[in-house]
Structure 1
């Protein structure tokens, strides 16, 4: 008697972890942003409403994409990457400036950050490119060509958003490293990357200034945010002041709901609460790894590996900035920090990985 075909389902652990992070993120955002919302917009729930709308759209998109065979996105890999380049050029020409940086395109009443789209576009593009040339990837010329292919978007995004450019570059290096059977060639890539980063930093004086602020934040006016974030972390102790009881969010830490939200998490929930958030991210990264290693083909494995690299790099960079372990780069904490474009494309990316998990044996 023939056994019925096994009905594959989503990775439950991944899906539940994403849902928990989204819910926790909305709760923490409400607590962190209420004061700024009341002062700036006379509405304590201003930021929650905007983030909530973006989350609903992202969740709907995630569930829709999760039901689609991920191979159907192959024809859109190159057009999507070209669109990312085009949107990055549009930002430089017509972008909306906020806090001294051009990162947004205005579409009527909505603002859109193309660099978030670029992360997903690069993952799909490189997964397609590597899958197509996997037999030649061990050759230095092919590896160099793949890295050169993503430099246009890295350069365009990096002109106004260095941190996102570093994430995109990190995703590219991770995907090529995962697919390549030779590792010695990555030494020259690391040297080239350091040289490229050095030149990039030297092109603008404010980037070198950030290094000086990082070393001695108390000596510079622009080090104020870093110091206030460290005060928040230090005052939280083991269990924190309690949800909603942060002092630093009351105008002391500028834009607390954005890049520095992890410091408020430490202040209100303490080391235990912050550690729990980190554990949730570790579970997410672990599931990406499991799905990547059990994916039915290389294309699916590379998409999951790209999502893993994206999440890992962004979380590490954000926490490192908040704790002043590296210079301030202005990068959000996934699912926790305020940012509609960020949460939408993060959830769409989760949908891609969930669609791969359905075919994992």
Structure 2
């Protein structure tokens, strides 16, 4: 259990991170502007209403901001007692996707649950991220010095790895599994006294990824494969990543058009609303490829503005984690910081074709109600931790 204040000491909230609130609202507003610009044509063609995507996202975003502010007023220590329930509920919800008729397939991926009402359709994998952020710190606090032992290390890895494995097996969501694994690993890194061991592991993984990239390029880069004979969609994504021009008719078309959009935007872009690629060449541009439209309309400058905003958001989260009232709050905010940082990095790397397509959206900017709801829940947790920061004399 998190340590309590000394007896007789009355705690009074001294701080509230309005800077975090401001940058999040700024990102959401920026995202809504870009979402309308990106999706208006598609929405008009599909729904005969150019505001269809924008209106839905705006309503959910407004409600999520209010919800996050409400969560921020609660004591974050309550999560210590319910985090175990969140963990197992997320496991059960992901299992329902695979083993129940409530599992819904969207765009070729069965990752959604539908309870009979479209408004209640969501991705349980997002709940799993919250579970990792709240439950792994709870375990670390309960284990105490046992974290430094081999048994403690593997116990934490079992819980974090089990959640990541469930995301992969039950929802076939590799990107979420990677994010959950990264959140778990980073929290163990913070809590473990032997941090040099983790740095060595990261170095080895980086070398293996680099070597793997070179080997794949040498063995598969120039091969002429018939995609109709390739059963694994992940192998198809790797082949497209290595040579998008060659496989433009089998998955490389979207990434090629996204790169054309970025290249045609120049430094200051064609102007807001003037994208050509959003009119069809970049399919589902309002989702994970929205960064390419930002760069086409606002140029490299617009892309850098988004990156700076995310950088400042991560800085505010780092500030809260560093000054949190206790280690539990610090670990949770650190997990939130890793989640957002990794999702931003992976999304931009996909758009630039630095890594294979993952389907990860750009936080606060891409279209998606489930994503914005749970991201704002995380912001509410971070703000709750910030409220209990005490700058004593």
Q: Does 1:209 align with 2:236?
A: yes
Distance 1:28 1:280 in 2: 15
SS in 2 for 1:307: helix
SS in 2 for 1:217: coil
Distance 1:149 1:338 in 2: 31
Q: 1:184 offset after TM fit, Å?
A: 4.3
Aligned to 2:322: 293
Q: Deviations over 1:188-221 (max 9, x none)?
A: 68879989xx9xxxxx722122111101011112
Distance 1:31 1:309, change over 3 A: same
Contact 2:13 2:389 in 1 (8 A): no
Q: Does 1:89 align with 2:95?
A: yes
Distance 2:38 2:239 in 1: 29
Q: Does 1:138 align with 2:148?
A: yes
Match of 1:167 among 168, 176, 179: 179
Aligned to 1:69: 75
Q: 1:153 offset after TM fit, Å?
A: 2.1
When normalised by structure 2's length, the TM-score is: 0.86
Distance 1:141 1:277 in 2: 42
Contact 1:66 1:355 in 2 (8 A): yes
Match of 1:350 among 361, 379, 387: 379
Q: Does 1:115 align with 2:125?
A: yes
Q: Does 1:17 align with 2:42?
A: no
Distance 2:187 2:272 in 1: 39
Q: 1:183 offset after TM fit, Å?
A: 2.3
SS in 2 for 1:273: helix
SS in 2 for 1:96: strand
Aligned to 1:180: 192
Aligned to 1:201: none
Q: 1:53 offset after TM fit, Å?
A: 2.1
Distance 1:6 1:131, change over 3 A: closer
Distance 2:88 2:173 in 1: 19
Aligned pairs for 1:5-84 within 5 A: 7-84=13-90
Q: Deviations over 1:146-167 (max 9, x none)?
A: 0111222212212321111111
Aligned to 1:302: 331
Q: Deviations over 1:217-271 (max 9, x none)?
A: 1111211000010000001101001111100000110000000000000000101
Choose 1 or 2 for highest CA Rg. 2
Contact 1:140 1:185 in 2 (8 A): no
Distance 1:334 1:129 in 2: 28
SS in 2 for 1:219: coil
Distance 1:342 1:234 in 2: 29
Aligned to 1:150: 160
Contact 1:226 1:322 in 2 (8 A): yes
Distance 1:19 1:184 in 2: 38
Contact 1:315 1:333 in 2 (8 A): yes
Q: 1:5 offset after TM fit, Å?
A: 8.2
Contact 1:88 1:115 in 2 (8 A): yes
Distance 2:34 2:141 in 1: 40
Please tell me the root mean square deviation across aligned C-alpha atoms, in Å.
2.0
SS in 1 for 2:278: coil
* Structure 1 unmatched ranges of 5 or more: 199-203
Segments ≥4 residues shifted beyond 6 Å: 189-195
Q: 1:109 offset after TM fit, Å?
A: 2.2
Q: Deviations over 1:70-128 (max 9, x none)?
A: 00111110000001100110111231111211111112122111111111111000111
Distance 1:243 1:33 in 2: 13
SS in 2 for 1:244: coil
Q: Deviations over 1:279-300 (max 9, x none)?
A: 0000010111111111110100
* Structure 2 unmatched ranges of 5 or more: 1-9, 213-230
Q: 1:169 offset after TM fit, Å?
A: 0.8
Farther off after superposition, 204-213 or 37-46: 204-213
